[in-house]
Amino acid sequence: MRPTGKLHLGNYMGALANWVKLQDDYECYFFIADLHALTTDYADTSQITPNALEVALDFLGGGLDPSRSTIFVQSHVTQHFELPLLLGMITPLGWLERVPSYKEMQENLAHKDLTMYGFLGYPVLMASDILLYQPKYVPVGQDQQAHVELTREIARRFNNFYPRPKAQNVGDILRAVHPLCVLPEPDVLLTPSPKLPGTDGRKMSKSYGNTILMTDPEPEVRKKLKTMVTDPARIRRTDPGDPDKCPVGDLHKVFSTPETIAKVYEGCRSAGIGCIECKSWAADALVQVLEPIQDRRASYSESQAKEILAEGSRRAGVRAEQTMVEVRAAMRMLR
């Protein structure tokens, strides 16, 4: 997750909530991608570190558990600098230029000059972030699948150029898990990312200024909901509407109970309820989700969060170095 500020409900439902569940079944690595933030925010880096701390607290509040998962800051693990450089040597330029988000982001962030080497190369950084941990799966939503596919292609190319040396000293466990190649191609673990609109009806996104934050207190949540756009067909209170054409309806589908959702459909389509009432039900549901998250977040101090990141970065560094030992050996760049 990039440290662009406090996380919002879109981040929570699209990623964090899935990650929390994965902790039950997998050994997980989660990191704050501060090097990725540099690819677009290189001109003003003043907010990256404070934002990273906010993201760490949101991770913990959301339910990532440092006793089960490794939670760290990307730039604190120096192997995240080393592997992208090596993989960059074998990644054809054309592969990077055709990444769909490359042009998309340039258009969306037209006010920033993104004609930078670092920005073009961010998929190599992303591939390295993944491959450093020799993972079986990468949990992503549908829109991120292309990045994992590119990661697989880069890994394949690496393994073709640099097969695992026959005699090496890398430990039996790793060899047993990944016997054939140094950088196994990871699979996508498709995680649900429900449609979550912001207050203006567009996709919830910090750049649109339409977010509901994981840290928003109850009055703020209610205030934001009050201004949220609704089905445009409901001009007057007596006009029937359709929750399937209303962003508030979308929120209900994600957060409300089946009973409330049934009441929303019935009341909206018959004009039996007003939008103000309907929005207050949606706010109730959001507050119910957010309260335990905010309580858990408040139970961590900033210094505790920093300690957790330091320990996570240490652990991640140990695991990443195991991979780098193999990478350097395969490339015959032994230290």
Residues that bind ligand SF4 (CB under 6 A): 230-231, 234, 241, 243, 246, 248-249, 264, 268, 273, 275, 278-279
124 touches 84 (CB < 8 A) = yes
Nearest CB to ligand SF4, comparing residues 212 and 248: 248
Q: How far is the CB of 232 from ligand SF4 (least distance, A)?
A: 9
Residue 8 carries which side chain, given as an amino acid letter? H
Nearest CB to ligand SF4, comparing residues 183 and 228: 228
SS3 per-residue string spanning the chain: CCCCCCCEHHHHHHHHHHHHHHCCCCCCEEEECHHHHHHHHCCCCCCHHHHHHHHHHHHHHHCCCCCCCEEEEHHHCCHHHHHHHHHHCCCCHHHHHCCHHHHHHHHHCCCCCCCCHHHHCHHHHHHHHHHCCCCCEEEECHHHHHHHHHHHHHHHHHHHHCCCCCCCCCCHHHHHHCCCCCCCCCEEEECCCCCCECCCCCECCHHHCCCCECCCCHHHHHHHHHCCCCCCCCCCCCCCCCHHHCHHHHHHHHHCCHHHHHHHHHHHHCCCCCHHHHHHHHHHHHHHHHHHHHHHHHCCCHHHHHHHHHHHHHHHHHHHHHHHHHHHHHCCCCC
**What span, in angstroms and rounded, lies between the C-alpha atoms of 194 and 290?**
17
Nearest CB to ligand SF4, comparing residues 150 and 196: 196
Q: How far is the CB of 265 from ligand SF4 (least distance, A)?
A: 8
Nearest CB to ligand SF4, comparing residues 168 and 260: 260
Nearest CB to ligand SF4, comparing residues 246 and 316: 246
Q: How far is the CB of 262 from ligand SF4 (least distance, A)?
A: 12
Q: How far is the CB of 276 from ligand SF4 (least distance, A)?
A: 8
Q: How far is the CB of 249 from ligand SF4 (least distance, A)?
A: 4
Q: How far is the CB of 224 from ligand SF4 (least distance, A)?
A: 14
Q: How far is the CB of 200 from ligand SF4 (least distance, A)?
A: 14
Nearest CB to ligand SF4, comparing residues 284 and 321: 284
Q: How far is the CB of 243 from ligand SF4 (least distance, A)?
A: 4
User: Quick one: angle between helices 275-298 and 247-255, nearest 10?
Assistant: 50
Nearest CB to ligand SF4, comparing residues 113 and 242: 242
**What span, in angstroms and rounded, lies between the C-alpha atoms of 112 and 82?**
27
User: Quick one: angle between helices 48-62 and 34-41, nearest 10?
Assistant: 140
**Any idea how long the chain is?**
335
Q: How far is the CB of 268 from ligand SF4 (least distance, A)?
A: 3
Nearest CB to ligand SF4, comparing residues 89 and 235: 235
**What span, in angstroms and rounded, lies between the C-alpha atoms of 248 and 231?**
8
Nearest CB to ligand SF4, comparing residues 19 and 281: 281
